[in-house]
Structure formats: C-alpha cells, structure tokens
C-alpha cells in the first residue's frame, strides 16, 4: 500500500506493480527534473493544469506525452485503490474491475482534454 506517499520515492520505489517507474518509464525518468521526489512531493507540485509535477529538461514529443498519460494512469489507479481500502471495511475489500476501469477511463478523458500539464510545441 502507498500510504500517504511521504516515504515513497515516485521514480525509484515499486509502489505500483512490480517495476519502479524509473524502469517502466525510463524515457520520462531520463527527462524529468524531479528524480528524487516522493509521491507526496509530486502531488504537492501539482498534477493538474499549471502544476509543476511534470518538469522536463526539454519539451516532450507527442509519444512522450502519451507516456506521461500512462504514468498518470498508474498513479491514479493506485490512489483510487488506496482510497477504496481506507474507506471500505476489511470484510468488504475486493477487486471491482468494472468500477476501477470506469474511473480510470473518466480520468484519462479529463487528462486528454486538458493537456496543459506538459509543455507542448506545435508540430511535434
């Protein structure tokens, strides 16, 4: 479980799945300015429009922006899973893929509509 994220390194720790983000998203890791940030640091910097969580050494290509969306998808799924565990009695915990998948799709749609969280140059 992620917990509050204050002791979990966003890029180096295996907090979503079996592979750390620095491996799963190696290209983004190479470009990020926030290599040593914890999950809580990244949240404080802001995921939303105008937030600084995604700070890059250069502008991203379109395919790299898609990797950011995928990375964000993993993060949001983790947050939803932890929120569900915190608010559900232990006897009712279980995997509800339909609800989680619906939440993930809604979130990705919102991200795609407001891609201001990455620097983008027209024609990339």
Tens digits of residue pLDDT in 80-104: 666 655 565 544 444 444 444 455 5
Domain limits at 76?
21-117
- Residue 87 lies inside a defined structural domain of this protein: yes
- Residue 105 lies inside a defined structural domain of this protein: yes
- Residue 3 lies inside a defined structural domain of this protein: no
The number of domains in the chain is 1
Q: Between these two residues, 48 and 93, which has the higher pLDDT value?
A: 48
Q: How far apart are CA 56 and CA 119, in angstroms?
A: 8
- Residue 123 lies inside a defined structural domain of this protein: no
- Residue 46 lies inside a defined structural domain of this protein: yes
- Residue 5 lies inside a defined structural domain of this protein: no
- In whole angstroms, how far apart are CA 102 and each of 51, 105, 108, 114? 25, 5, 10, 19
- Residue 81 lies inside a defined structural domain of this protein: yes
Q: Where are the beta strands (DSSP E) in the chain?
A: none
pTM of the full structure: 0.63
- Residue 41 lies inside a defined structural domain of this protein: yes
């Amino acid at each position: 479980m992620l917990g509050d994220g204050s002791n979990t390194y966003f890029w180096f720790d295996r907090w979503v799945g079996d592979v750390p983000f620095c491996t799963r998203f190696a290209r983004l890791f190479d470009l990020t300015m926030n290599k040593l940030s914890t999950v809580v640091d990244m949240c404080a910097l802001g995921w939303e429009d105008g937030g600084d969580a995604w700070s890059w050494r250069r502008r991203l290509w379109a395919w790299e922006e898609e990797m950011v969306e995928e990375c964000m998808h993993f993060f949001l799924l983790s947050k939803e899973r932890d929120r569900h565990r915190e608010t559900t009695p232990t006897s009712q915990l279980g995997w509800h893929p339909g609800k989680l998948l619906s939440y993930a799709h809604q979130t990705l749609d919102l991200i795609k509509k407001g891609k201001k969280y990455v620097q983008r140059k027209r024609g990339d």
